[in-house]
Structure 1
Amino acid sequence: PERRIDRRPVGGALLALLVLAPYGVAAYWATIYPPLRDISTDFDEPPALDVSDRTKDMNVLAPSTPGEQRLQADSYPLVSARSYDLPFETVVNAVETVLDRRDWELSEPYPDLAGQSEVTITAVAKGFVIGLPADVAIRVTDDGDTVIVDMRSASRYGRYDLGDNAARITEFLAELDQEVAGQVGAAPAE
């Protein structure tokens, strides 16, 4: 008699691995990323987030502790403010151009720049990993000598962000650097 091999257990095991793989990846990420969920380029005065639609089941927004600040600085050295020797309006326009390319929901329309030396633009972004929302604030300040761009991103849900907020900030600011360089390069020579 011919012996038949039952392949159902192998198929079931492969299906189980497929279903459990995202949990394994998340567990791995939890071991390599620091336990943070609110990242800012300015520890002393982080850009203000729009809290108008936050609910009590979302993460509480609180100033970062010295330990969290050290952990962020050690883990994410590229999360740093930008300074530009350009007109305030040029930098704000570059920020708005980069924002327009993203699928982020602005909390309110872009601010009127007339007579302003500081503006903060707030939005809600979807997470890279599983699409959970994060509050984002981008502050542009003209300090008289340079224009400084600070950014903050805070997860609404979850104990840790698995690197999501730092990635959002570094990618946005890198794209802003390119946009500013492109605008300066495209400016007519005088």
Structure 2
Amino acid sequence: MAAYLEERRSRSAVWSWRLGSFSTVLFIVSGLGHRYALLETVPFLWVLGIVAVLAAFGLMFAAFAFPSVWNDGDIGGRDMTGGALLSVLVLLPFLLTGYRAYAYPELNDVSTDLDDPPALTVALKTRTPAMNPVVPPSPAQARLQTQSYPEVTGRRYELPLDRTLGAVEAVLSNTNWKLYGPFRQKDNPDEVRIEALAFTTFLAFPADVAIRLMDEGDTTYVDMRSASRFGRHDLGDNAARVRQFLNDLDAEIADETGEKPLPDAE
């Protein structure tokens, strides 16, 4: 009588595939939901935590399955490989976040003027208790920004206020920010401010932005502030946003008038 050996299926490989595929779907669906304002930020952060745990377990089960699949010939090599790859793909953004948290300073509010930051009046009215409060930088935060981002400074242009404002609005028209203003100060007619709600590129975390223009007579001075609504660490996002906008403004004004920021822009 012939003996038949029953092939075994690795249960760890099966669970690796299940957890890897489910964490991938959950990550994509929740990310799209947050980007299109179908899921609020705080619940989304909880979902991201669950996604990370599921993906980590998916990778762990793939590691458990490897000896039985490789050495014992258990069925499940495809499940193990697929689960491991999906888990690694899901975990990559979390690893990148960890690296950026290490590489960038722990700031969530960046301004070109640390002594008198541009006011975030719209944010003061719209931020909820779950969001970061709108407060001036502490002396320690100001020192940290100065040390980490010495290039984040305002711009002085040899142009009248209205022409500089037109260039600012032209640059803003190329963003996907939600704009408020421009606002002219009743007690200070030489100051114009535009506020905006901006979002991170990948997962659309919100940040409040203020751009302030000061009429100095023959010149106009431009300051900018960007402040994250959630989290103690912006992962370098706010400084990058300020730098990019002001560089684009430099290019816009140079293309239109040939003018460059004056060297005494600070």
TM value normalised by structure 2? 0.64
Residue in structure 2 matching 1:21, options 92, 107, 114: 92
Bigger Cα Rg? 2
More off after superposition, 153-162 vs 137-146: 137-146
More off after superposition, 32-41 vs 144-153: 144-153
CA distance in 2, matches of 1:19, 1:104: 28
Q: Which residue of 2 aligns with 1:74?
A: 147
Aligned residue pairs, count: 184
Q: Which residue of 1 aligns with 2:168?
A: 95
Is this contact kept in 2: 1:39–1:154, CA < 8 A?
yes
Structure 2 residue 239 is the aligned partner of structure 1 residue 176: no
- CA 12–145 in structure 1, closer or farther in 2 if over 3 Å, else same: same
Q: Which residue of 1 aligns with 2:109?
A: 38
Consecutive unaligned residues of structure 1, counting only runs of 5 or more, are none
Structure 1 residue 74, shift from structure 2 partner: 1.6
For 1:138-177, what aligned pairs fall within 5 Å after superposition? Answer: 138-177=211-250
Q: What are the Cα deviations for residues 130-153 of structure 1, in whole angstroms up to 9, with x where unaligned?
A: 211110000000123421000000
Q: Which residue of 2 aligns with 1:60?
A: 133
CA distance in 2, matches of 1:124, 1:144: 30
Consecutive unaligned residues of structure 2, counting only runs of 5 or more, are 6-72, 260-266
More off after superposition, 120-129 vs 36-45: 120-129
- CA 112–69 in structure 1, closer or farther in 2 if over 3 Å, else same: closer
CA distance in 2, matches of 1:185, 1:155: 34
CA-based RMSD of the aligned residues comes to 2.2
Q: Which residue of 1 aligns with 2:52?
A: none
More helix per residue: 2
Is this contact kept in 2: 1:30–1:162, CA < 8 A?
yes
- CA 4–160 in structure 1, closer or farther in 2 if over 3 Å, else same: closer
> SS of 1:179's equivalent?
helix
> SS of 1:141's equivalent?
strand
Is this contact kept in 2: 1:129–1:164, CA < 8 A?
no
Structure 1 residue 127, shift from structure 2 partner: 1.6
Is this contact kept in 1: 2:127–2:133, CA < 8 A?
no
CA distance in 2, matches of 1:9, 1:129: 29
Q: Which residue of 2 aligns with 1:124?
A: 197
Q: Give the counterpart letter for 2:243 in structure 1.
A: T
Equivalent pairs: percent with the same residue? 49
